[in-house]
Structure 1
Amino acid sequence: MRGGPSVLGIVLAGGEGKRLMPLTADRAKPAVTFGGTYRLVDFVLSNLVNGDILRICVLTQYKSHSLDRHVTTTWRMSSLLGNYVTPVPAQQRLGPRWYLGSADAILQSLNLVQDEQPDYIAVFGADHVYRMDPRQMLRQHIDSGAGVTVAGIRVPRTEASGFGVIMPGGDGSQVDSFLEKPANPPGLPGDPDRVFASMGNYMFTTKALIDALQQDADDPHSVHDMGGSILPALTEKGQAQLYDFGGNRVPGEPVREQGYWRDVGTLDSYYEAHMDLISDPPVFSLDNRQWPIYTHPGQLPPARFCAGGIASESIVSPGCVIRGQVTRSVLSPGVVVSPGAVVQGAVLHDNVRVGRGAVVRGAVLDKNVEVPAGATIGVNGDRDKELYTVSPGGVISLGKGRRVL
């Protein structure tokens, strides 16, 4: 931050994303397309850059080619000012092994910290959809004198088993304990049906992080994970503070979007987050010129609507050609919908082709999928389950380049 403390951003982007298969069969989860023209990693990078954290390392590992390429070609900062966003692949700096966990990923990349010598380190996850001003979290962290501040969001207790749960002390800020995906945690004082879930975003004082990583590396029983190892260790020492994301305010953000955060780690949550974009008014809007989400714009012509083609309650990206009927859907660049085709409640990635008279409902189709003339998806549930991936919530998904039968 110019004129303020030095902050290095570290984005953890090495996750495999098994629960988001088949979308992650050929790419890392942060590289998955979202909202038509974006990648999931664009949200965390936009939040950090908008918040004046302008030196950022993106730690990658699993099938990282498309992610590395996107970060390299899209996120070009001013080298004149010493700013950068750079992908950092696993380098085996500590021996012939890959990352053992998110904490080990940072441990193996401590040369980045030693080069920058920052006062503070923002360690953020790479695959969530939200807007956040990290400067507000940083100010609280500095004022508290804590070793780590963890961002938390209130979620129903019934959803707690999917998250790390932060148990605050009597003052509401000190973290008393951290429970990893508990089945039945106690509720919050005054709000017994909710808990604080960890967002996977941490603000560290540099020395506290380095000391914790080195101690964790010497523990043979550790899982070497930020949420499962580092945060509990600092909590036991009384060095962990909670930052309530519900109080974060982003310029240009309407009241209805305040506190919006989506973990899109499953097909159902990924699909539901897209439906949030196209509701009227949107639960989460991609249009905020005071806090934009950045991405590579591509070099495509505007979308075309021809021969009676229509689209309603939808996002239609550049390069699309619509000759059929599209409703409540999100279309990435280059999608073609042929005459007589019907696309309803679908998420279509780049260059999907929907043939004449075909029907696509309640589905997520990865890039280059071809739906032949007259084919159907989302019409015969039993047939769909036999041929394709179907989520617990009923979302049908086809992987990259798949041809519909």
Structure 2
Amino acid sequence: MTKENRMRLISNGTRKTLAMVLAGGKGERLSPLTLTRPKPGVSFGGKYKIIDFVLSNLFNSGIKQIYILTQYRAYSLMKHIRESWAKWTGLGEFIVAISPETRSESEEWFKGTADAIYQYLRFIENSDADYVAIFGGDHIYKMDVGQMIEYHCENEADITIAALEVPAEEARRFGVFSVDDRSRVTGFKEKPSVPVKIPGRETCFASMGNYIFSTKRLIEVLQEGKKRHADLDFGKHVIPMMLAHGDRVFAYNFNDNAVPDMKPEERGYWKDVGTIDSYFEANMDLIRVDPQLNLYNYKWPILTNQGNLPPAKTVFDSDGRRGQNLDSYVCAGCITSGGTVRRSIIGPRGKIHSYSLVEDSILFENVSVGRHARIRRAIIDKNISIPPHTVIGYDHAQDRRNGHTVTESGIVVVSKI
């Protein structure tokens, strides 16, 4: 196939691709940040939500027919989609969040990843899509989905699974593929004690939970699988079924994917941010001089609700009372008024009052830090006012007595609950 034909194929493919984003995760290991919101709705990098990354990848790839399947405490997430993403589409395009339907005979919601898609199978059946992209909504990464669709088409695959190439000791945490020398999948195991390596390499293919299906085959396998399994799941049921049927199942190496203006060191960046510690570390990486995740690549922007906020500003410049943001990531609407911010992320509309100090911390939207307060290695949830003279992150025993969550690594989480 010539390069010209491949580009024509992928151009047609993205236009005929329907995306379904699984965004119902409770994110229990991120508690208390997820007590009032689903994991995809948690803030990341100050101004974004976690779900903005997968939606930006799809949108930038030209895929603009997207259903977002919500479930757990979905109101804030659906509001975010409605106020930002839903208004960026046009004729024949849509980005819409939908909740599980409860019927009189059953009050149960999604029982598995594939069951979530099955419940909305009519949307797929009524579309003219040749391919269905099924992606998770709770990871941080950049990806040109069109390249994965092209790979799917070239292999005439029934399903293509995005795969991370990881060391064997790390692969035990994932679902792992065994593949032949053409990356056709020959087996799949969840969290194996002895992961199978890629032929000729010392690494393994771990599932990212992102799939490209040929539409007809997806409909067939979901209908068949639902007859056998009430809790129908892609990793547990669908992929093994397809392998048993002899379907064409391929692994797509995420390391081969590149977006415009991506630097070599950015390739393969993918974060689960499933725990408080991993979430904190991924955020803190953004304020490095050269972060692996570059949010300043304007050829592959991460999109979100920009709001109508004024620029951030600092106030006062006298000895002992100087508003300053150092090695930090400060969002619109923030005022650092005579306080100091170091190595921190300050969300929109933050207020740092005089003589206060914020270090190595993440403040969500509309957090106010009172005079003479000191905050270190903490995550402060949105709409919280820190009283004057408060000390957080210096005495963990006292932090716990104050009702805050403290991780083993010493991250203090301050929430309203």
TM-score, length-normalised on structure 1?
0.93
* 1:285 partnered with 2:294: yes
1:20 CA drift (Å): 0.9
Given that 1:94 and 1:108 are in contact with CA atoms closer than 8 Å, whether structure 2 keeps it comes out as no
1:395 CA drift (Å): 1.9
SS at match of 1:47: helix
Structure 2 Cα separation of the partners of residues 121 and 16 of structure 1: 24
Structure 2 Cα separation of the partners of residues 362 and 236 of structure 1: 50
Question: Aligned pair in 2 of structure 1 residues 363, 156: CA closer, same or farther (>3 Å)?
Answer: farther
Correspondent of 1:317 among 318, 321, 331: 331
Given that 1:160 and 1:183 are in contact with CA atoms closer than 8 Å, whether structure 2 keeps it comes out as no
Correspondent of 1:228 among 227, 236, 252: 236
* 1:215 partnered with 2:235: no
Structure 2 Cα separation of the partners of residues 296 and 347 of structure 1: 19
Structure 2 Cα separation of the partners of residues 88 and 288 of structure 1: 31
1:79 CA drift (Å): 5.8
In structure 1, give the amino acid aligned to 2:404. Answer: Y
Given that 1:177 and 1:236 are in contact with CA atoms closer than 8 Å, whether structure 2 keeps it comes out as no
Given that 1:92 and 1:108 are in contact with CA atoms closer than 8 Å, whether structure 2 keeps it comes out as no
* Partner of residue 175, structure 1: 185
1:167 CA drift (Å): 2.2
Structure 2 Cα separation of the partners of residues 167 and 191 of structure 1: 12
Question: Aligned pair in 2 of structure 1 residues 141, 93: CA closer, same or farther (>3 Å)?
Answer: farther
Question: Aligned pair in 2 of structure 1 residues 37, 80: CA closer, same or farther (>3 Å)?
Answer: closer
1:393 CA drift (Å): 3.0
* Partner of residue 139, structure 2: 128
* 1:249 partnered with 2:265: no
1:77 CA drift (Å): 5.1
SS at match of 1:162: coil
1:196-249 CA deviation, whole Å, 9 max, x = no partner?
A: 2211110001122111211221114x6422222222222333431000000101
1:316 CA drift (Å): 0.2
Moved more, 362-371 or 45-54: 362-371
Given that 2:352 and 2:369 are in contact with CA atoms closer than 8 Å, whether structure 1 keeps it comes out as yes
* Partner of residue 6, structure 2: none
* 1:390 partnered with 2:406: yes
Structure 2 Cα separation of the partners of residues 272 and 201 of structure 1: 24
Structure 2 Cα separation of the partners of residues 94 and 149 of structure 1: 37
1:392 CA drift (Å): 3.4
5+ residue gaps in structure 2? Answer: 1-9, 317-321
* Identity over aligned pairs, percent: 41
Question: Aligned pair in 2 of structure 1 residues 390, 188: CA closer, same or farther (>3 Å)?
Answer: farther
* 1:188 partnered with 2:202: no
Alignment of 1:357-372 (within 5 A): 357-372=372-387
Moved more, 304-313 or 74-83: 74-83
Structure 1 Cα separation of the partners of residues 333 and 185 of structure 2: 49
Correspondent of 1:30 among 23, 30, 40: 40
Aligned length: 398
* Partner of residue 360, structure 2: 345
